[in-house]
């Protein structure tokens, strides 16, 4: 049978408390017996014969036990008084005095063994005190009418302590039962206190399994379970964001693929319907759409490989600044065609970085293409670099138009375009910056964006310098 963690916690705590209680009882019993020990051994039961004779005579006179006082408390005190009375009568004839605690260890039962009077040790007291009970039968006309039951300790020196235990056994039993119930209640509350958040976490996990990523757990605790709930909520939020990004990715990818395909389809249909002639110009238009579609698919493939860590990098120490100057020079014609003025700053003191040279060129080309595509004619594009604190910092600045502050943090997201000034009409897909950020991150660096002093956008590549 499967036992839930709530029941396991309950039984673990309850049994622990019971064990501690049993240990406490044993220590109290040992201490009690130790304190009451000493003096004359209390084993003399010689006066029981006198008490037995008295009880037998009264029973014979009344033919039953009707002479016993009414009320449990009176009957409890009555038998010790009778014992002491019989003891006093025997002592008057010179009998050796007996121990007084015997009077408080005697109980009277009828022939069926039911309680009548005196102090009768119950089974719990017998077990706790390791007592022996001896019965002295009472006889009338050869017929047994009852018995005197005496509780005897294993150690005669403990007789006084046993008398005390028997006298207080009802109270001690009540305290034991109350402790048992209280410990069970505390164990149940503690188990529920731990089980409730675990149940919430399990229910939340089942909701995540059903792709309900908006699930959150309202668990305000300052312990490990509260920390686990907080981590669960962070995981759920991350999954929700990932799912949103996945759906957006699918929608944007479909849209980006649809645009060149729609153009191609329109061109082909116009050629089929002889609306347009098969000329080099029309074929070149179709070829441009095919190349655009090919670049988009290649970029998507590169991003997918980067996501699963399958992009290959040929890492080796390289001077990055000459590589960037080379790519920047290759874009001179592109900048001139866009009406832009290129500027190169002073070379940094150190630019040796452990990197994949081709991948760094790819990042630089994406950033330069981004500036050439979106910077207004008559503007500037500037390349700068600096080395400090063990890092190489490369900046690419362009002039207006700029990017709104609310959109800068989202640059580098797939298919994201900040506003109409940097939109699909300019030909971009938003994949290049996303791929560039992936490549820089794979080099242990950062690609960050901010407003440029030239009025446009600043891209900053930060890479760790290679130790010489």
Per DSSP, 100 falls in state G
The residue-averaged pLDDT of 210-224 equals: 82
The encoded tokens of residue 320 equal: 């990055």
Domain containing 355 equals 316-464
Q: What is the Cα gyration radius of the chain?
A: 49
Both 11 and 129 in one domain: the answer is yes
Is 117 a domain residue? yes
Q: How far apart are CA 105 and CA 119, in angstroms?
A: 6
Give me 323's structure tokens.
Answer: 């590589």
In this predicted structure, the answer to whether residue 60 has a pLDDT above a threshold of 90 is no
Q: Do the domain assignments include residue 221?
A: no
As a whole number of angstroms, the distance between CA 268 and CA 276 comes to 9
Is 194 among the domain residues?
no
The per-residue DSSP string of 412-427 comes to TSTT---SGGGSGGGT
Q: Is 409 exposed, middle or buried (0-12, 13-18, 19+ CB in 10 A)?
A: exposed
Check residue 161 and give its pLDDT.
65
Tell whether 177 and 273 lie within a shared domain: no
Same domain membership, residue 343 and residue 258: no
List the single range of 21-35, 85-99, 267-281 with lowest mean pLDDT: 85-99
In a domain, 198, yes or no: no
Q: How far apart are the C-alpha atoms of 442 and 87, rounded to whole Å?
A: 102
pLDDT at 320 over 60: yes
Does some domain include residue 269?
A: yes
What's residue 215's pLDDT?
87
CB atoms near residue 3 (< 10 Å): 9
Q: Are residues 258 and 165 in the same domain?
A: no
> Is the pLDDT score of 26 beyond 80?
no
User: Are both 345 and 418 inside the same structural domain?
Assistant: yes
> Who wins on pLDDT, 378 or 229?
378
The rounded mean pLDDT for the chain is 78
């Amino acid at each position: 049978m499967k036992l839930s963690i709530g029941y396991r916690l309950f039984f673990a705590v309850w049994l622990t408390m019971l064990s501690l209680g049993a240990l406490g009882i044993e220590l109290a019993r040992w201490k009690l017996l130790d304190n009451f020990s000493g003096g004359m051994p209390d084993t003399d039961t010689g006066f029981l014969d006198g008490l037995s004779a008295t009880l037998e005579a009264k029973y014979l006179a009344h033919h039953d036990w009707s002479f016993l006082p009414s009320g449990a408390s009176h009957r409890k005190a009555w038998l010790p008084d009778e014992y002491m009375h019989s003891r006093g009568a025997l002592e008057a004839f010179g009998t050796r005095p007996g121990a007084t605690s015997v009077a408080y260890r005697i109980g009277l039962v009828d022939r069926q063994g039911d309680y009548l009077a005196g102090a009768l040790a119950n089974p719990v007291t017998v077990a706790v005190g390791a007592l022996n009970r001896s019965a002295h039968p009472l006889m009338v006309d050869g017929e047994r009418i009852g018995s005197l039951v005496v509780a005897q300790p294993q150690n005669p020196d403990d007789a006084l302590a046993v008398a005390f235990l028997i006298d207080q056994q009802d109270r001690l039993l009540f305290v034991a039962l109350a402790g048992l119930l209280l410990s069970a209640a505390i164990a149940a509350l503690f188990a529920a206190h731990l089980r409730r958040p675990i149940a919430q976490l399990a229910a939340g996990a089942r909701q995540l399994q059903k792709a309900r990523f908006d699930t959150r757990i309202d668990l305000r605790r300052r312990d490990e379970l509260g920390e686990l709930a907080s981590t669960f909520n962070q995981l759920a939020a991350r999954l929700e964001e990932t799912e949103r990004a996945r759906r957006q990715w699918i929608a944007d990818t479909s849209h980006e693929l649809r645009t060149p395909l729609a153009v191609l389809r329109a061109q082909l249909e116009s050629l089929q319907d002889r609306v347009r002639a098969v000329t080099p110009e029309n074929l070149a238009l179709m070829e441009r759409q095919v190349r655009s579609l090919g670049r988009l698919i290649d970029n998507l493939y590169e991003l997918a490989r980067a996501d699963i860590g399958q992009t290959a990098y040929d890492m080796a120490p390289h001077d990055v600044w000459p590589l960037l100057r080379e790519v920047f020079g290759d874009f001179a014609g592109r900048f001139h065609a866009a009406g832009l003025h290129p500027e190169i700053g002073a070379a940094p003191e150190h630019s040796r970085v452990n990197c994949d040279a081709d991948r760094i060129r790819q990042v630089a080309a994406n950033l330069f293409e981004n500036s050439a595509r979106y910077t207004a004619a008559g503007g500037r594009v500037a390349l700068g670099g600096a080395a400090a604190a063990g890092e190489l910092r490369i900046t690419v600045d362009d002039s207006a138009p700029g990017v709104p502050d609310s959109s800068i943090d989202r640059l580098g997201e797939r298919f994201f375009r900040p506003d109409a000034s940097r939109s699909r009409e300019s030909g971009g897909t938003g994949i290049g910056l996303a791929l560039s950020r992936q490549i820089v991150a794979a080099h242990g660096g950062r690609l960050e964006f901010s407003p440029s002093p030239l009025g446009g956008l600043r891209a900053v590549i930060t890479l760790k310098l290679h130790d010489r």
